[in-house]
Structure formats: structure tokens, C-alpha cells
Amino acid sequence: MGSWGDEGVERLQAFVRAAERINEIVGRGVAWLTLGTVVVCFAVVVLRYVFSIGYVWLQEVYVWEHAAVFMLGAGYTFVHCGHVRVDIVYARLSLRRRAWVDLLGTAIFLFPWLGIVVWHGSSFFALSWRLLEPSAQAGGLPGLFLLKTVIVVFCALVGLQGLALAVRSLLVLAGREDFAPGQPVH
């Protein structure tokens, strides 16, 4: 492994394992919100069309759950290589070239994009918290600021997984092909 040494590789491996474990736990936990989304949506439909009863807050519950699933589950999807790629080219590349694509793509596209989201969203997020912003809808949920917090958590989880992908790519480039993305870290 050159100048990294066994201890350095073990630390990098431990980082990848920890980052991916965090996203795995969050993703599996947030997946249960999909069940909640279906149950609440079903309840909204039954209440509205069978009993002619409607609650704005209940409609917002399933919309907010749905948003949380996508935002908080993005890191989990990233761990499992589930995001859309242009696989026509990527799939035909060698592991080393894929590692370069992943490393450069993460550095050039992912991290700047996350930085822009955080930079431009920070005032939006902070104002929402200062106001303890409720839903804009009469009868809606009181904690819109909590939903907006999901944006920041999304950036943290995807950023963490981006770092894990970058570390995996560096290890592949250093000759550790067993660290290729999509492979479990033992």
C-alpha cells in the first residue's frame, strides 16, 4: 500500500465501514415511513370519499413522510449504487477507470452541488427555525421547520457517502480492488 501502511488502510476501511453503516441504519429506518405513507394516504382517501371528512394536517403527514423517505434515504441508495448513472460507458470501464470517474465525479459534481445546496439553503433553513415555521396551509402541521431540517440531514448523509466513495476510489487506485463501490467492506 505504499506510504499509507497497514494502519492507514485500516483507518480508511473503518471510515468507509462507519459511513456506510450510518447510511444503512438511516435508510432501513426511514424505509418504514413508506408503510406509514401508504397507511396515511389510504386513511385520507377513505375519510374523504367514504365519510366526506378531510384533514389538511393528515394530507400533509403523508406528503412529509414521502419527502423524508426520498431525502433521508438518498445516502442509503448511494451506498447500494442505486442512483441513476450513464451505465452505457461506466459499466464497460475497468475498475481503475471507474474509480477515477467516481473520484472525479464526486469532487467535481457532488461536493460542489451539496455545497451550493447548503450555502443557498442555510438562510432559508435558519429563518424557518427562527420562526418555528408552521405549514402555510390553514389546519396544516405546525412543524414545517422540522421538514426543512431534512434538507440539511440529506446533505450530511449524501456528503458522508460521497466521502466514503472517494475513499473507496482512492483505495482501488492504490491497488485494493476489493474496495470497489458496491462491494461490502470486511
Give the pLDDT score at 56. Answer: 95
The pLDDT value recorded for residue 7 is 82
Task: Return the C-alpha cell found at 132.
Answer: 418555528
Nearest of 170, 180, 159, 162 to residue 9 by alpha carbon: 170
Per-residue confidence (pLDDT) for residue 6, from 0 to 100: 77
Q: Is the model's pLDDT at 1 over the cut of 70?
A: no
Percentage above 90 pLDDT, the chain: 76
Question: How many residues would you count in the chain?
Answer: 186
User: For residues 65 and 33, is the Cβ–Cβ distance under 8 A?
Assistant: yes
Q: What is the pLDDT of residue 182?
A: 67
CB 72 within 8 A of CB 157: yes
Range of the domain at 46: 2-179
Do the domain assignments include residue 11? yes
DSSP string, 121-183: HHHHHHHHHHHT---SSTT--S-HHHHHHHHHHHHHHHHHHHHHHHHHHHHHHTT-GGG-TTS
Using alpha carbons only, give the angle 14, 20, 26 rounded to the nearest 5 degrees. 135
Q: Is residue 35 part of a domain?
A: yes
Position 185 in a domain: no
Is residue 78 a part of any domain in this protein? yes
**98 within a domain of the structure (yes/no):** yes
Q: What is the pTM of this model?
A: 0.88
- The x, y and z cell numbers of residue 136, run together, are 402555510
Residue 186 lies in a domain: no
Q: Is residue 117 part of a domain?
A: yes
Please indicate, yes or no, if residue 7 is contained in any of the structural domains.
yes
* pLDDT the model gives residue 150: 94
Number of domains making up the chain = 1
Write out pLDDT tens, residues 61-118: 999 999 999 999 999 999 988 777 667 788 888 999 999 999 999 999 999 999 999 9
Note whether 99 and 172 are within 8 A (CB).
yes
Q: Kindly indicate the confidence band of residue 185, based on its pLDDT and cuts at 50, 70 and 90.
A: low
